[in-house]
Structure 1
Amino acid sequence: MRLLAFDGRMGASGDMLLGALVSAGADPSVLDPVEDALDIEYRVHEVDKNGIVATKVDVLVPETDGGDPRGEGHGDDHGRDTDDGQTAHDDGDDGSTGTRRHRVRGTLSSDDGHSHSSDDGHHHSHDHYHSHDHSHDHSHDHEHTHAEGHGPHRTYPEVVELVESMSLPAGIVDDATAIFRVLGEAEAEVHGTDLEDTHFHEVGADDAIADVVGTCLLLDDLDVDRVVTAPISVGGGETTMSHGTYPIPAPAVLNVVERADWAIRGGPVEAELLTPTGAAILAHVAEGVETLPSLSVESSGYGAGGWDFPDHPNVLRAIVGDGGSRLVRDEISVLETNLDDASPEILGSLQETLKDAGARDVSIIPTTMKKARPGHLVKVVVKPEDVERVAYRLAVETGTLGIREHGAGHRWTAHREFETATLDIDGDTYEVTVKVASDADGVVYDRSAEYDDALAVAKETGVAVREVMRRAVDAVATDE
């Protein structure tokens, strides 16, 4: 299995994703269709980041007669209010590093590199850090300059229409538009607006679209079977937006992370490392892992971000190789406790309450305790980072006085996808979700219908639950 692994210890951003993928072996010539469609140019060059040679990918546009490349409608007031009262969102991706498959990139703001803005209208001040590589450098090229914010600020439907007009392979279009949907839904949730009416602002500008579509093309060129990322660093400190000062990670980033399969962690510097666009890309394409999986390395590379930090190379590392295993190694811990006085109602509710707290699986096993008293052994599978929260919930729900932890081990899991089966029953259509399990080679070895969906259909139609489940599995199998 061909695997791409990202090291996100310095965060995630679009320009670093572009650079890391090119550095790891992707052919930058696949970016030509984006250059033609947007009238931009990808500038690929090498930079030094604390002694590490990394690939930097800048998105450039021709200068206008007035020397301002940003285009009509950009404006000079990042974070200004729009006509509908919604705050504009600037990207600021260059302030971080990024990881993984089909990605998005953002922008750095001022020429002096002291401040940048994020998708959700945040203005970040980093007095001690400077962006030398990605700030405007008018001395190196008088015909082109950085495409930060160039082009109109588009809505989600306008971004989709633009991407679909690029004559790209269907899979690339699907991935790119899905990434923008994740980002749009997160912004809409922050501001209480509808997805169709939410403006992306800087993230909907030409340079950000070039980042998203470009990373999708580069990832496709690498032709990997699976993409994983270790926990992503978000940085630390505070960020200022038009509505006030907020701790990092920013609200839009948190909303995106809620949709992701990977974990975040704080630090290692006081700066915003994970941007909304970087997070959106990863949320769409990445599986989370605790540590770098076992693989035979074929190639590796580093993508450079805009900021320079004294003790931390601002780079994203990408590793490509043979991942070997047919199943996914998932780091876990196991919690367990013995109960001799829990009522059936309490035991019955544990599946739901513990999973709401973060448990991955809950088992309740009848057992015999001291003095031959009947009891139950509760075993809970949980991710290491969720142990304390789940253990506390288990104690509160059951009243147990002690919980054993077996420590961080691992389990082997299938690759899982969820498909929707559409059933026709007595002239009406119903939808049932079906979980499809496969190995790393894509060989499907199990399909199972979601019980709650099947139960809802059974109640409405009078068809037996197991019959609804059988029909749903058969429908998905037939479509594959």
Structure 2
Amino acid sequence: MRTLVFDGRTGAAGDMICAALIAAGADPDVLAPVSDALPVRYAVGEVEKNGIRATTVDVLVDDDGPTETCEDSSHRCDHESSHGHEHDHDSGHEHDHVHDSEVAGSDNPAEGAGVHRSYPQVVDLVESMGLVPAVEATALDAFKLLGRAEASVHGTDLDETHFHEVGADDAIADIVGAALLLADLDPDRVVTTPVATGGGTVEMSHGTYPVPAPATTEIAARTGFRIVGGPIERELLTPTGAAILGAIADGVDTVPDLSVERAGYGAGDADFERHPNVLRALVGDGGDPGSDDDREQRDADHAHGDHSTDGSLVHDDIAVLETNLDDAAPEVLGGLQETLSRAGARDVTIVPTTMKKSRPGHLVKVICKPADAEAVAERLARETGTLGVRQSGASHRWIADRDFETAKIRVDEAVHEVNVKVASTTDGSVYDVSGEYDDAAAVAEATGLSIRGVLRRAEAQVRERIAEE
């Protein structure tokens, strides 16, 4: 088994991963689709880091090319690091971007250049590049990890997530570039040892945060590799680096048994006194994934992350709101489903309970999108008079892919339609077929059939149709 191993003990960033892949044998010419789609070019060179000769990759924009930047610089947060690889967190750390491959004054680093895009805009751009399906899927997996991390940290919806630094041209070039280079190497398996995050703190527009940054921490929680603090007091693992590794690599404790064909080093920009700022990549035969139990555990780990698409349910970011009521009129409770739905609620549950002094009351639980939480909480307070609405710790749920099909029920030469909900996993495996009650009730009223009978006929018709496909 041809295996690619990243040695995570030195941290990782997008440019370091690209450089390490080239140093391990990937052909930089495969990066052309990115240069064709964006006003950037890749400069590949070499540098010495603490006695180690390493490959560098800089994403450059021509001096005369478009260099649109984010109008609000205060948004530079949680995206790239003072590690010296990609971007700062408004921290004033030095950027040392001149490598042996550059000619001073001829090009500018593309840090933050170009349009700062929303998550859907990034997806549209990647899909417009004409990449082969495997490369496109890898890049989109990484961006989805980033998007979900940002949405979770900031309490927003994925489709409303706006990438600032990470949505700029250079970050897109790093992520798509890594996907292209990986496909060129074409390993059977990719693994990473525990990845060093560094330590200390990092300054962002929202304040001072400990390393790893919030988005990096969130990505690590959603993926199958481990992180470890240190070995220096600087940020070593960036959100972009974490997202790329999360999209492509399984986590392992140590470098596996490997017959090494090639070792390569990808350099970051910063220089550390006793810590070589390089990411090592090893390619060789070996790295057997282990026993069936090991494979099952790894599959479970990946199913926990956002990049699993084989037979799983769909990851859906949510907020869960709750309040206890001891004096709400039945008419108010009965109307909450409609009024809260208009404010953005996806589901409303009212549970009878016992409150203080053994008084009867109700627990109201509401599921909504994170972006709608404030509006739903306000509407809940206004409708019920509650003095407080709490948001519980749930951040997401797993839901089915849902489609609707129409069943046609013929009774006495008349044809009646019933909508039928079809629930499936992400690989298209159908596991539930359920007719819509209101449609069935209307048909039952018009025909004299029982509601249960109408539902059975509609569901059987759709099941037969699916079985024939």
TM range (shorter): 0.5 to 0.7
Runs of 4+ in structure 1 over 4 Å off: 135-139, 328-331, 420-428, 453-457
Shift of 1:143: 2.9
Residues 271 and 295 of structure 1, relative CA distance in 2, 3 Å threshold: same
Distance change >3 Å, CA 297–CA 63, structure 1 → 2: same
Tell me the distance in 2 between the aligned counterparts of 1:431 and 1:178: 21
> Aligned partners of 1:135 and 1:90: how far apart in 2?
24
The amino acid of 1:172's aligned partner reads V
* Structure-2 change in CA distance of 1:23 and 1:136 (3 Å): closer
**Sequence identity, in percent?**
52
CA contact (8 A) 1:256 1:283 kept: yes
Matches within 5 A, 1:293-332: 293-323=256-286, 325=288, 327=290
1:154 pairs, out of 117, 122, 132, with 117
Unaligned stretches of 5+ residues in structure 1:
81-86, 97-105, 109-115, 118-122, 332-417, 435-448, 462-474
Give me the whole-angstrom Cα distance separating, in 1, the residues matched to 2:15 and 2:95: 13
> 8 Å contact 1:88–1:199 — kept in the other structure?
no
Secondary structure of 2:224's aligned partner: coil
Instruction: Name the CA shift for 1:95/1:6 in 2 (closer, same or farther; >3 Å).
Output: same
- Displacement, 1:190? 1.2
- In the alignment, structure 2 segments of 5+ residues that lack a partner are 295-397, 408-419, 438-451, 453-465
Aligned to 1:228: 191
Deviation at 1:175, TM superposition (A): 1.4
Contact 2:76 2:205 in 1 (8 A): no
Confirm or deny: 8 A CA contact 2:46 2:99 kept in the other structure.
no
Q: Map 1:91-240 to 2 at 5 A.
A: 91-93=79-81, 95=83, 107-108=86-87, 116-117=88-89, 123-124=90-91, 131-132=95-96, 134=97, 140-240=103-203
Q: 2:58–2:109: 8 Å Cα contact kept in structure 1? A: yes
Q: Check whether the contact 2:127–2:136 (CA below 8 A) recurs between aligned residues.
A: yes
CA distance in 2, matches of 1:50, 1:330: 41
Q: Note the aligned Cα RMSD (angstroms).
A: 3.8
Which whole-Å deviations, capped at 9, do the CAs of 1:85-127 have from their partners, x for residues lacking one?
xx4447435726xxxxxxxxx624xxxxxxx22xxxxx3455x
Q: Give the TM-score, by structure 1 length.
A: 0.61
Which residue of 1 is the match for residue 25 of structure 2? 25
Instruction: Indicate the residue corresponding to 1:72 in structure 2.
Output: 68
Distance 1:95 1:324 in 2: 30
What letter corresponds to residue 17 of structure 2 in structure 1? L
Give the equivalent residue in structure 2 for 1:47: 47
Which AA in structure 2 matches 1:25? G
Counterparts of 1:313 and 1:138, CA distance in 2: 20
Q: Distance in 2 between matches of 1:179 and 1:58?
A: 20
- What's the CA shift for 1:308? 0.7
Give 1:12 deviation, angstroms. 1.2
Question: Deviation digits for residues 213-259 of structure 1, max 9, x if unmatched?
Answer: 11100000001111000101110001122222111111111111111
- Tell me: CA distance 1:50–1:70, structure 2 relative to 1, closer, same or farther (3 Å): farther
CA distance in 2, matches of 1:285, 1:138: 28
Amino acid at match of 1:143: S
- Deviation of residue 330 (structure 1)? 8.3
| CA offset digits 1:273-296 (Å, max 9, x no partner) | 111111111111111000011111
Q: Name 2:241's counterpart in structure 1.
A: 278
Change beyond 3 A, Cα 1:422–1:200 = closer
Mapped to 2, the partners of 1:172 and 1:163 lie a distance apart of 10
Distance 2:31 2:272 in 1: 30
> Cα 1:330–1:237, aligned 2, differ >3 Å: closer, same or farther?
farther
Q: Give the C-alpha shift of residue 312 in structure 1.
A: 0.7
Residues 1:290 and 2:253 aligned together: yes
TM-score by length of 2: 0.62
**Aligned letter for 2:31?**
L
1: CA distance between counterparts of 2:274 and 2:186? 34
Alpha-carbon spacing, 1:422–1:195, altered in 2? closer, same or farther (3 Å): closer
Comparing both structures, which one devotes a greater share of its residues to helix?
Answer: 2
What is the distance in 2 between the residues matched to 1:257 and 1:326?
Answer: 21
How big is the shift at 1:33? 1.5
Could you say if the C-alpha distance between residues 261 and 138 of structure 1 is closer, same or farther in structure 2, counting changes exceeding 3 Å? closer
Q: Distance in 2 between matches of 1:162 and 1:282?
A: 21
Bigger Cα displacement from structure 2, 425-434 vs 187-196: 425-434
Alpha-carbon distance in 1 for matches of 2:59, 2:251: 29
For 1:356-435, list aligned pairs within 5 A: 428-431=421-424
Quote the Cα distance in structure 2 between the aligned partners of 1:251 and 1:6.
Answer: 23
Tell me, yes or no, if the aligned pair for 1:94 and 1:306 is still in contact at 8 Å: no
**2:130 alignment partner, SS class:** coil
- Asked if structure 2 preserves the Cα contact closer than 8 Å seen for 1:70 and 1:147, the reply is no
- Mapped to 2, the partners of 1:63 and 1:313 lie a distance apart of 31
Distance 2:278 2:95 in 1: 13
Letter in 2 for 1:71: T
Over 3 Å counting, the alpha-carbon distance change for 1:163 and 1:233 in structure 2 is: same
Q: Which amino acid aligns with 1:74?
A: C
Flag the structure with larger Rg. 2
The residue aligned with 1:357 is none
Query: 2-side partners of 1:139 and 1:432: how far apart?
Result: 49
Distance (whole Å) between structure 2 residues aligned to residue 199 and residue 107 of structure 1? 18
Aligned to 2:6: 6
What SS class does the counterpart of residue 220 from structure 1 fall into? helix
Distance 1:90 1:29 in 2: 31
Number of residues paired by the alignment? 328
Distance 1:70-1:4 versus aligned 2 partners, 3 A rule: same
